[in-house]
């Protein structure tokens, strides 16, 4: 009995009630997708008002994974906050690490040695490949094809071995430090990475032939959830979602950081192959193209990595000068921005704000989902590639 009372109290004024207060027509039904759901990537709840199969209103309800990372940061020193950045986006942990390290280094004018920058680039690109694998696998799974996901998991195992050799962990690496990286990459590991890259391109070809060129897959994703250029800008999309809508913007090229200005790579854009520019199939293809670009970057970085130190001299009690900075990097899910404000006296941030790509991708749901069918909504949501910890922090 107590449990039912608890539920009633909780539901007053919640998302569900807000939709039900509006007059529901006789055939409509309020349905709840999540938080326990195999295909919302993480714990995300979307309340849908459906009429048979067609959705007439959608309202995402997030916050199930809110851990208060920003508040925690105000009580920790800059150095000891690094493991928390892993958990912002656990599938692309190194990118989150180096984004935070870069924000602190830019505010404090701290020099990073050359070799450390190359190490950061190499691990960041490997992590980008890992993350994009985990994006294209679940798209297939949400559509009913379970085999491509297992292939993707198998490929990730190869990269896990290399990342474990470099950093010591398989998923949350805690690799970057303020002023450099924690461990060096030995030559043996670099040769292993090159050998893996030889295997990667034929695998991508095989994967695309298995599921990407499959007629049923294409029919399910084409012309679904088309996000036009102006809509993508207005929704503050970033990363592969933005590029799939036709806008050629990559922070590694437009606002280069680390050594990306010395590396030679393209920025692939969605071209509307098989459908319109900015549909879900374009977002899927975009990630495949970006894996191929990451392979190019990795080869160049491995061949031109200099020798030297991997960690600059940074005081243990690091006090940043008074001021504020907003610094952003290109994470696999979009623009990862760190806003740090320091009050010049303590070794803790006064305010740390994290801006993630998945948060702004979620704003497209309430606009795009109405009108789709439930199965389409699942496919569209999978193509956006959000992870719950990035949204909730």
Partner 1 sequence: MWDLLYTITFAIVYFFVISISAGFTTVFERRIAGRIQSRIGPNRVGPQGSIQWLADGLKAIQKEDIIPDSVNPLLFKAAPYLVFMGMFGALVPIPLGQFTYMADLNVGIFYVIASTSFVVIGIVMGGWSSNNKWSLVGGIRSAAQLISFEIPISISIFIVVLSAGSLNFQEIIKAQGANPWDWFLFRNPFTFIAFIVYFIGSLAEANRVPFDIPEAESELVAGYNTEYSGMRFLFFFFEEFANIVVIGAIITALFLGGWNFWWRLEVPLDLPGLSHDGRVEILGILWYIIKTIVLVFFIIQIRWTLPRLRVDQLMNVSWKYLTPIGLLSALGLIIWMYFVPDDSFLSQVTRISMASIGVIIALYFFYRVYYNLKYTKAKINVNPFM
Partner 2 sequence: MRYDTSLLEKLKSEFPDDVLNMEATGPMPHALIKAASLKRIVGHIRDDKGFNMKYLNCITAVHVTDEHEGKFRSLGFNLIYNFTDADFSRSISLKVYIEDHGDGSINNVVPSIDIYYKSANWFEREIYDLMGIFFHYSKDLSRILLPPDWVGHPLRKDYSEQPSYNDMPTGRSDELQSLRLV
Binding mask 269-308 for partner 2 (x = CB under 8 A): ----------------------------------------
The token duo for 41 is 């990537």
Judged by beta carbon distances under 5 to 8 A according to partner kind, the member of partner 2, partner 1, none in contact with residue 199 is: partner 1
Question: Does residue 107 interact with partner 2 by CB under 8 A?
Answer: yes
Report the C-alpha gap between 278 and 296 in whole angstroms: 25
- Return the closest-CA partner of residue 273 out of 253, 257, 289: 289
Judged by DSSP in three states, 93 sits in helix
13 phi-psi bin (left φ>0, alpha ψ -120 to 50, beta other) = left
Question: Does residue 371 interact with partner 2 by CB under 8 A?
Answer: no
Q: Could you tell me how many residues of this chain bind partner 2 (CB under 8 A)?
A: 45
- When binding is defined by CB under 8 A, the residue of 233, 292, 318, 373 that contacts partner 2 is 233
Q: Which is nearer to partner 2, 115 or 328 (CB)?
A: 328
- Return the closest-CA partner of residue 349 out of 319, 312, 379, 317: 319
- Return the closest-CA partner of residue 224 out of 160, 179, 145, 281: 281
Q: Which is nearer to partner 1, 72 or 213 (CB)?
A: 213
Residue 350 CB neighbours (<10 A): 16
Question: Does residue 31 interact with partner 2 by CB under 8 A?
Answer: no
Q: Which is nearer to partner 1, 195 or 248 (CB)?
A: 195
Question: Does residue 351 interact with partner 2 by CB under 8 A?
Answer: yes
Q: What is the largest CA-CA distance in the chain?
A: 71
The full 3-state SS of 47-110, as one line of letters, equals: EEEEECCEEEEEEEECCCCCCCHHHHHCCCCCHHHHHHHHCCCHHHHHHHHHHHHHHHHHHHCC
Judged by beta carbon distances under 5 to 8 A according to partner kind, the member of partner 1, partner 2, none in contact with residue 211 is: partner 1
Report the C-alpha gap between 46 and 33 in whole angstroms: 5
**Nearest distance in Å: CB 66, partner 1:** 24
Beta bridge partners of 60: 46
Query: Binding residues for partner 1, per CB under 8 A?
Result: 29, 31-32, 37-39, 53, 140-147, 150-151, 154, 198-199, 202-203, 206, 210-211, 214, 216-217, 219-220, 373-376, 378
Report the C-alpha gap between 337 and 3 in whole angstroms: 41
Judged by beta carbon distances under 5 to 8 A according to partner kind, the member of partner 2, partner 1, none in contact with residue 213 is: none
Q: Which is nearer to partner 1, 100 or 217 (CB)?
A: 217
**Nearest distance in Å: CB 365, partner 1:** 16
Report the C-alpha gap between 205 and 228 in whole angstroms: 28
Side by side, the strands of the sheet bearing 323-331 are 323-331, 334-342, 351-355
For partner 2, the binding residues in 68-87 under the rule CB under 8 A are 68, 70-71
The token duo for 152 is 């993707």
Question: Does residue 326 interact with partner 2 by CB under 8 A?
Answer: yes
Binding site for partner 2 (CB under 8 A): 6, 9-10, 12-15, 18, 62-63, 66, 68, 70-71, 106-107, 230-231, 233-236, 249, 254-255, 323-328, 335, 337, 339, 341, 350-351, 353, 355, 359-360, 362-363, 367, 392
């Amino acid at each position: 009995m107590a449990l039912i009372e608890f539920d009633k109290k909780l539901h007053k004024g919640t998302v569900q009630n807000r939709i039900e207060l509006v007059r529901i027509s006789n055939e409509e039904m309020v349905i709840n997708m999540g938080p326990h759901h195999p295909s919302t990537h993480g714990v995300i709840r979307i309340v849908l008002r459906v009429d048979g199969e067609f959705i007439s209103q959608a309202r995402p309800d997030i916050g199930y994974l809110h851990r208060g990372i920003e508040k925690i940061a105000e009580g920790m020193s800059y150095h000891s906050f690094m493991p928390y950045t892993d958990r912002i986006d656990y599938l692309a942990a190194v990118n989150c690490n180096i984004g935070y390290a870069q924000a602190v280094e830019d505010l404090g004018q701290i020099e990073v040695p050359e070799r450390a920058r190359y190490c950061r680039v190499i691990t960041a690109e490997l992590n980008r490949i890992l993350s994009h694998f985990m994006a294209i696998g679940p798209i297939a799974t949400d559509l009913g094809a379970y085999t491509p996901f297992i292939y993707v998991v198998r490929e990730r195992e190869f990269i896990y071995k290399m990342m474990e050799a470099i950093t010591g962990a398989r998923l949350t690496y805690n690799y970057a430090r303020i002023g450099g990286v924690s461990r060096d990459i030995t030559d043996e590991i670099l040769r292993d990475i090159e050998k893996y890259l030889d295997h990667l391109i034929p695998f991508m070809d095989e994967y695309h032939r298995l599921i990407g060129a499959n007629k049923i897959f294409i029919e399910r994703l084409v012309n679904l959830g088309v996000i036009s250029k102006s809509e993508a800008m207005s929704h503050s999309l970033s990363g592969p979602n933005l590029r799939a809508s036709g806008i050629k913007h990559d922070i590694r090229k437009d606002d280069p950081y680390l050594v990306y200005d010395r590396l030679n790579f393209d920025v692939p854009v969605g071209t509307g192959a098989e459908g319109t520019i900015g549909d879900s199939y374009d977002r899927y293809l975009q990630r495949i193209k970006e894996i191929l670009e990451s392979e190019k970057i990795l080869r160049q970085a491995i061949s031109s990595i200099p020798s030297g130190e991997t960690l600059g001299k940074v005081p243990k009690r690091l006090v940043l000068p008074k001021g504020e900075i907003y610094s952003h990097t290109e994470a696999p899910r979009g623009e990862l921005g760190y806003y740090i404000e320091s009050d010049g006296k303590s070794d803790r941030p006064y305010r740390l704000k994290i801006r993630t790509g998945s948060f702004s991708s979620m704003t497209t749901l309430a606009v795009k989902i109405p009108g789709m069918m439930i199965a389409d909504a699942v496919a569209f949501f999978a193509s956006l590639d959000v992870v719950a910890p990035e949204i909730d922090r």
